[in-house]
Amino acid sequence: MKSQAQLSTLLFELDSRGYKAYKQIKGEYEFEDDFTLIIDYVQGDPFAAPTQCSVIIPQAIAKFSEDLYSTLSREIALRDYLSRQFAQVAKEFSGFRGTGKSGLIQGIEPAQEVFERTSVFIDDQDIEVRFWVGLPAKGRSILGRQAEEMLCYDLPQIVKKSLLYENLDGAAIKEHIETVEDAEWIRSELDKRGLVSFIANGSILPRRSGVDPRPLTDNVVPFEAPTDLEVSFDCPNHGLIKGMAISKGITLIVGGGYHGKSTLLKAVELGVYNHVPGDGREWVITNASAVKVRSEDGRSIASVDISPFINHLPQGQSTQRFCSNNASGSTSQATNIIEALEVGATALLLDEDTSATNFMIRDRRMQQLIQKDKEPITPFVDKVRQLYKDHGVSTVLVMGGSGDYFDVASTVIAMENFQPHDVTTEAQSIAAAHKNERLLEGGDTFGEITPRIPVSESIDASRGKRSVTIKVRDTHALGFGTEDIGLGGVEQLVETSQLRAIALGIIYGKDKYGEANLALKDLVAKIMADIEEEGLDILSEYPQADLAYFRQFELVAALNRLRTLQIQ
């Protein structure tokens, strides 16, 4: 291994030379402050993806006590905390030092959620942090002195400030870890207690804006559970936490427009993840198999059996193996539900704002005007009970616009001035007093969920000479080879690193299990089990800083939206 002094000398020597000469700095360097810098991949020009590096600090120097990472949830929380610290301090040192990305020092910047990422690792021996550096240049000529300053002077300071326990806020670390641990514990209790979700009193649900996930601060109304729906959890670290239970079964969220219905559902959706302390949703905890489904016209569909909801399409199109390059609102929503059920969703989350009206309701008058044999859709209201009864799948539904769901709901929560009220009894007596004359169209059973086996060759991420090309700009789309996978309708994705990992997960699954001809459910189960066993790094041949946790639901959602996908 070379020394820090050798890196220094080398960088001075490279000054003014052509950018490609930077390639020589690839390698490992022992720094005077007792950490190792590894330069894994050197960028080809100042505008290209920046140079990827990692730093390894021995625990003898970093000194994190073992109880801070003694269990998986503690370890993930600590890694998350350090990712945030490193990114923040790096940002202070990062600056514009020439052309393109020159001067950049960047760690992964997590959203509000805490989950496993490949940016930081920790064990008894050392801490590893992965990050990016924009090697500086003026035009295409190397700025060696500036590079030396960044790597040999700034970097040791960033490491010292953000990764040595003695320089960090011990109380904040403890709170971060204990919050995640308690949240994880509550999630593990939900099922036993018959709950889909829990929203603690005092939670702050609204966000600062549609593009800013930090908590709203002005005129915010904290959440308070109605007495009838209040439950409590005696958490390992934070003691008693009280809040509102959303039980299994069918829960309806009603209320006037702008009274906070969608905000509540959104928080429940993201409650499948843990959140950082201070987020306001750190005690909003949802069953990890709850899936948001919405309508998504325009998406592609590969041989999905949507016959529980849709039959007798015009021109005799099959709904047992329904295919479309351009689905309608109702067929896309039916598909999203069936695909979630196919891989084991135990709860569905729906919002009227993003649902197809004709998929959700069909009233008596319409039943009379358009007879059942002329309407392919069986509305969700006529299937939601059967879904719970036959498959044990709960539904949480925001519906302010129709009382037709009163007949099927087990709980009705009304949002009024951003506060929940239990109006179940009232809704039931209204339903009894004003009999709904609509005909029930759903039959006695929900119907079968038909497993699908993908055609391995139809999954292809190659582009030109490259066998794998993945591009991720935001959480709405994934460039996969020559295809663009639209993920705007998959609302439980929060970070681009998840999309990158999902893309690699699909390729991993194809390479490793493609020939086994597994059903989708079994294929994703294998991929998820391998990741759980070995970590996200198995998805990549070289170390990457920005791969993050995802669920099987989002993995399969991406695969299902791949327009080339074929089913056997």
**280 is a contact residue toward ligand ADP (CB under 6 A):** no
Which of Mg ion, ligand ADP, none binds 259 (CB below 5-8 Å, type-dependent)?
ligand ADP
Which of ligand ADP, Mg ion, none binds 452 (CB below 5-8 Å, type-dependent)?
none
Number of H helices, E strands in the chain: 15, 28
**418 is a contact residue toward ligand ADP (CB under 6 A):** yes
How far apart CA 224 and CA 221 sit, in angstroms, is: 9
CB 482 within 8 A of CB 435: no
Residues 221-250 that bind Mg ion (CB under 5 A): none
Query: C-beta of 260: minimal distance to ligand ADP in Å?
Result: 4
Which of ligand ADP, Mg ion, none binds 129 (CB below 5-8 Å, type-dependent)?
none
**221 is a contact residue toward ligand ADP (CB under 6 A):** yes
The first and second tokens of residue 328, run together, are 């309608």
Which of ligand ADP, Mg ion, none binds 205 (CB below 5-8 Å, type-dependent)?
ligand ADP
Which of Mg ion, ligand ADP, none binds 313 (CB below 5-8 Å, type-dependent)?
none
Nearer to ligand ADP, 413 or 531 (CB): 413
List CB contacts of 463: < 8 A, sequence separation 6 or more.
469, 481, 482
Count of residues in contact with ligand ADP, rule CB under 6 A = 16
**353 is a contact residue toward Mg ion (CB under 5 A):** yes
Q: Given the rule CB under 6 A, which of 217-225, 356-364, 428-436, 491-499 is the region that contacts ligand ADP?
A: 217-225
Nearer to ligand ADP, 260 or 489 (CB): 260
Q: Please pick, from the candidates 38, 56, 164, 220, the single residue that binds ligand ADP as defined by CB under 6 A.
A: 220
What does each C-alpha distance from 16 to 45, 51, 136, 152 come to in angstroms? 14, 19, 11, 18
C-beta neighbour count of 134 within 10 angstroms:
26
Nearer to ligand ADP, 265 or 502 (CB): 265
* Binding pattern for the stretch 318-357 against ligand ADP, x by CB under 6 A and - elsewhere: ----------------------------------------
C-beta neighbour count of 442 within 10 angstroms:
20
**261 is a contact residue toward ligand ADP (CB under 6 A):** yes
**144 is a contact residue toward ligand ADP (CB under 6 A):** no
* Ramachandran bin of 328, using left for φ above 0, alpha for ψ from -120 to 50, beta for the remaining angles: beta
Query: C-beta of 216: minimal distance to ligand ADP in Å?
Result: 6
Count of residues in contact with Mg ion, rule CB under 5 A = 3
The 3-class secondary structure across 333-360, one letter per residue, is HHHHHHHHHHCCCCEEEEEHHHCCHHHH
Q: Given the rule CB under 5 A, which of 40-48, 197-205, 311-319, 350-358 is the region that contacts Mg ion?
A: 350-358
Q: Please pick, from the candidates 51, 99, 263, 336, the single residue that binds ligand ADP as defined by CB under 6 A.
A: 263
Query: C-beta of 212: minimal distance to ligand ADP in Å?
Result: 11
Half-sphere exposure of 73 (CA within 13 A, CB side): 17
**SS3 category, 179:** helix
The first and second tokens of residue 424, run together, are 């179940």
Bridge partner residues of 348 (DSSP): 291, 395
Query: C-beta of 182: minimal distance to ligand ADP in Å?
Result: 23
**Please, what sign has the CA dihedral across residues 164, 169, 175, 180?**
negative
Amino acid at 348: L
Q: What is the pairing mode between strands 239-247 and 230-235?
A: antiparallel
Nearer to ligand ADP, 262 or 319 (CB): 262
91 phi and psi angles, rounded to 5 deg:
-60, -40
Query: C-beta of 267: minimal distance to ligand ADP in Å?
Result: 9
The first and second tokens of residue 274, run together, are 């843990």
How far apart CA 4 and CA 90 sit, in angstroms, is: 19
What does DSSP assign to residue 49? S
Residues 231-260 that bind ligand ADP (CB under 6 A): 255, 257-260
Nearer to Mg ion, 229 or 397 (CB): 397
Nearer to Mg ion, 25 or 253 (CB): 253
Q: Please pick, from the candidates 262, 346, 354, 498, the single residue that binds Mg ion as defined by CB under 5 A.
A: 262
Query: C-beta of 291: minimal distance to ligand ADP in Å?
Result: 20
How far apart CA 331 and CA 319 sit, in angstroms, is: 9
**295 is a contact residue toward Mg ion (CB under 5 A):** no
Bridge partner residues of 567 (DSSP): 454
Which of Mg ion, ligand ADP, none binds 258 (CB below 5-8 Å, type-dependent)?
ligand ADP
Nearer to ligand ADP, 311 or 419 (CB): 419
Q: Given the rule CB under 6 A, which of 90-98, 213-221, 429-437, 484-492 is the region that contacts ligand ADP?
A: 213-221
93 phi and psi angles, rounded to 5 deg:
-90, -20
The 3-class secondary structure across 387-448, one letter per residue, is HHHHHCCEEEEECCCCHHHHHCCCEEEEEECCEEEECHHHHHHHHHHCCCCCCCCCCCCCCC
Question: Tokens 């987020």, residue?
Answer: 279
Residues 475-534 that bind ligand ADP (CB under 6 A): none
Query: What is the binding site for ligand ADP (CB under 6 A)?
Result: 205-206, 216, 219-221, 255, 257-263, 415, 418
Task: Kindly list the residues in this chain that would bind Mg ion in the complex (CB under 5 A).
Answer: 261-262, 353
